[in-house]
Structure 1
Amino acid sequence: MKKLRYSFGLLALALIFLSSCRDTVEPNIPYSTFDTGAYLRTIARTSVDFQLADLGKSTFALTLEAVDIEDGATVETVEIMVRHRRLITGVGLEYTPKGGDAKVKTLSASDFAANADSRFLRTSFVITAAEALAAVGLDAAYLKKGDVFEFRLILNDKKGRSFNSSNVTTNVAGAVFYDSPFQYFVDVE
C-alpha cells in the first residue's frame, strides 16, 4: 500500500510539474517590416486546348487575381510568355523558339481592377492561337496533334522583384487555395 501511495504521489507531482510549464519565448520576427511576395491566383481558365480543326476560334484565356500585401496594388506588369514544344520519337522534345520563351502579351497595373467577389484586384485576358503562333514564329500548317504550347507568367512588382514559375514554391503553385502555378499548358487537339 505504501508503494501505491508513493507511486500515486510521484504521478501527481509529475502531472503538476508538466502542466505548469509554459512557453515564454516570444518571436523575434519584426512583422511590421516583414518582406512579403506576390502571386497570381487562377480564378478561371476558360480554355484548355487549341483545336487544330478550328484554330481561328481557339484561345487561351484566364482570369487572375493579384494577391499581395496591398491587395494587388504592388503589381507593375505581368508578362505572358509562350513557347511551343513537340515530342519527336527517338529524339526527345523540340522547343520553338529555341532560345527560350517569346513574349506574347504584357498586362499593366491598369489592367487589374476591383471586383465584387474579392478584395484583391483581378484581370482577364485572351490569347488567340494566331497570336501564340506569331509569337513563336510558326504557322498553322506546322502544327500537329499532340503539340503543346507552354504559357508562363512573370509578375513584376513595384519593388523591382519578379515572381514566376521558377521561383514559386510547390505549395503556392499547386495548392487549391493559392492555385498560382505561373505556368499553363495548352494542348493542340
Structure 2
Amino acid sequence: MKILKYSFGLLVTALMLLSSCRDFVEPNVPYNSFDTGAYLRTITRTGTFTATDLANSKFGLTLEAVDKEDGATVQTVEIRVRHRRLIPNVGLRYTPVQDVVVRTLQSTDFAPNDKSRFLRTTFEVTAAQALAAVRLTPADIAKGDVFEFRLVLNDKFGRRFSSNNVTTNIAGAPFYASPFLYFVTVN
C-alpha cells in the first residue's frame, strides 16, 4: 500500500511538473503588418542562341508571380538585356554598359493556371530582338558571347524587385527559383 501511495504521489508530481512547463508569454510580433515582397518563380526555361542560326534562336521563360495576393500585385515586368564578351588579357566588355529594356510584360499578361494558385506568364525573346535592343548585328556576335537577361518586377505599390535587391535565399534556392538574372551563352 505504501508503494502504491508513493507511486501515485510521484505520478502526480511528474504531471504537475510537465504541465507547468509552458511559456505563457505571447510574443508581441505584428504579423499582420509585415511588409512582404514579390518574386518571379522560374517554372520553365527554353531556347538557346546559336551563332550559326541567330535568325531562329530564342530565349523563353514561364514565370509565376508570387506575392501576398497570389500574383495580383504585379504591375509590370521589364525584360532587360545586355551583351557580354570576355576578351583575353582585357576582361569583360559589356554592350551597352547598362542593360536596356527589350520588352515589358503587363499585369494582363499574367493569367491563372491549373497547376498553382499564382498567376503565370510565358514569353520569348528572339535573338533578333535582343540584338536590336543592344544595337548589334549578327556579324558582331561570336561563339562564347553571353546575353544577360535581367527581370525587374514593378508592383502596384511602387516597389521594384530585381537581381539588384534579391537575397541569395530567393535567387538560388530550388523552391523559390527566382534569380531575376538569366545568362544565354551563344553556342
Cα-to-partner distance string for 1:91-129 (whole Å, 9 max, x where unaligned): 00000002x011100000000000111100000000000
Select the residue among 158, 168, 171 that pairs with 1:170: 168
3-state SS of the aligned residue for 2:123?
Answer: strand
Q: Distance in 2 between matches of 1:147 and 1:77?
A: 29
Shift in Å, 1:26:
1.9
3-state SS of the aligned residue for 1:76?
Answer: strand
Structure 1 gaps, min length 5: 1-12
Q: How many percent identity over aligned positions? A: 68
Shift in Å, 1:35:
1.1
Give matches, 1:22-171, under 5 Å. 22-47=22-47, 49-98=48-97, 100-171=98-169
Shift in Å, 1:30:
1.2
Q: Distance in 2 between matches of 1:29 and 1:57?
A: 54
Shift in Å, 1:88:
0.4
Shift in Å, 1:27:
2.2
Cα-to-partner distance string for 1:65-84 (whole Å, 9 max, x where unaligned): 00000000000000000000
Q: Distance in 2 between matches of 1:181 and 1:84?
A: 18
3-state SS of the aligned residue for 1:155?
Answer: strand
Q: Distance in 2 between matches of 1:20 and 1:133?
A: 70
Match of 1:8 in 2: none
Shift in Å, 1:28:
1.6
Shift in Å, 1:29:
1.6
3-state SS of the aligned residue for 2:71?
Answer: coil
TM-score between both structures, scaled by the size of structure 1:
0.87
3-state SS of the aligned residue for 2:42?
Answer: strand
Shift in Å, 1:37:
0.5
Shift in Å, 1:19:
8.2
Q: Distance in 2 between matches of 1:73 and 1:27?
A: 31
- Equivalenced residues, count: 174
Q: Distance in 1 between matches of 2:117 and 2:18?
A: 45
Match of 1:9 in 2: none
Q: Distance in 2 between matches of 1:93 and 1:37?
A: 33
Shift in Å, 1:18:
8.5
Shift in Å, 1:179:
0.2
Please give the root-mean-square deviation of Cα atoms over the aligned residues, in Å. 1.6
Shift in Å, 1:34:
1.5
Between 30-39 and 155-164, report the one with greater CA deviation: 30-39
3-state SS of the aligned residue for 2:29?
Answer: coil
Shift in Å, 1:21:
3.3
Q: Distance in 1 between matches of 2:46 and 2:101?
A: 21
Shift in Å, 1:90:
0.6
3-state SS of the aligned residue for 1:97?
Answer: strand
